[in-house]
Amino acid sequence: MGKPVIQKRNAGNTIRHYRESSAFSRPARGSIQPYFRKVALGVFALFVAFAAQAPFSLPKDEIHAVTRSAPWKGAERLHYRVSWANFVAAGELTLECKEVSEPGKKKIYRLGVRARSVDWVRTLFLNVNDAYESSVDAETLLPIQAEARLEHGNKIEQTSIRFDHQNRVARLSNGQTRPLSPNTYDAATLIFILRTLELGSRETQIVRLLDQQTVYTLRAEAERTESVRVGQKDYQVTRVAIKEVKNGLCQDTLRIRLYLTLDSRRVPVLMTAEPAWGTIRVELQ
């Protein structure tokens, strides 16, 4: 009797086999890129789907005051693991804050957000390596200068924003300008600002995200306090819903949720979203 024939597969065949299997459901490539850019920044994705949404009107006093005391202390570095659907390790996210103080100058914070795809997601879908940095006035927590370097596959894009609060205008690196409404932040600053909002039970706050040339109006709503397990640790948190407001509608299509600790640091220990192509979890390590 002859020896059984064992079929060998190289890495390429393994990937191809998994893609063709019934266990694999791949979203369109174009929908993956907003995942890494928005999810990693805490706003996940901001696609419009109004059909199932109820009308929503902003109150007259829509611009609530932002608490200006920073819950982070001097220097802070937080590492996160990003999982998506059945991919336990889809990406990595790092949030970093450094306090910079020079004689004769205002104290500022340098905020950084870095996100990259890893493992099978990097192989199967897209090589993502993004970096966002912002200089923020330590007293007002208003952004001064923001820069972004986005690497998606073979494409590299670099942009910057200069915030002129005195003249209420944002100056983009392509020479264009945008009106600067109150509570408007770049992507790196926004994830830190969400930690400073006064959000009591069922309270809401309006903030705005300036991402490249587009301004998104976001509504942060405290839903409840609860206990969540992240890794091997339990945290007491406030669960905050992040929804986009557009054309008078408040949408919760992706069910974006931010979980902030109840202590004075208000650390985001968990961020989640539920797009049609698989649940996303961003967990503190």
Tens of pLDDT, residues 111-164: 999 998 888 777 777 788 899 999 999 989 999 999 999 888 888 999 999 999
pLDDT in tens, 73-99: 778 999 999 988 877 788 899 999 999
pLDDT in tens, 7-60: 444 434 434 444 444 444 444 444 444 444 444 333 333 222 222 222 333 334
Residue 257 CB neighbours (<10 A): 17
Place of tokens 């003249």: 167
Task: Give the pTM.
Answer: 0.77
State the DSSP H helix or E strand holding residue 10, giving kind and residue range, or none if neither: none
Residue 109 CB neighbours (<10 A): 23
State the DSSP H helix or E strand holding residue 17, giving kind and residue range, or none if neither: helix 11-20
% of the chain residues with pLDDT over 70: 75
CA–CA separation, 162 and 181 (whole Å): 14
pLDDT band at 199 (very low <50, low <70, confident <90, very high): confident
Tell me the residue type at 21.
Answer: S
CA–CA separation, 280 and 90 (whole Å): 9
**3-state SS, residue 279:** coil
Residue 237 has pLDDT above 90, yes or no: yes
CA–CA separation, 34 and 28 (whole Å): 11
CA–CA separation, 10 and 21 (whole Å): 17
CA–CA separation, 129 and 115 (whole Å): 6
Would you say 214 and 46 are in contact if contact means Cβ atoms under 8 Å apart?
Answer: no
Tell me the residue type at 269.
Answer: V
Q: Which two tokens stand for residue 94?
A: 């790092």
pLDDT at residue 267, rounded to an integer: 95
Cα–Cα–Cα angle for 184, 80, 67, rounded to 5 degrees: 35
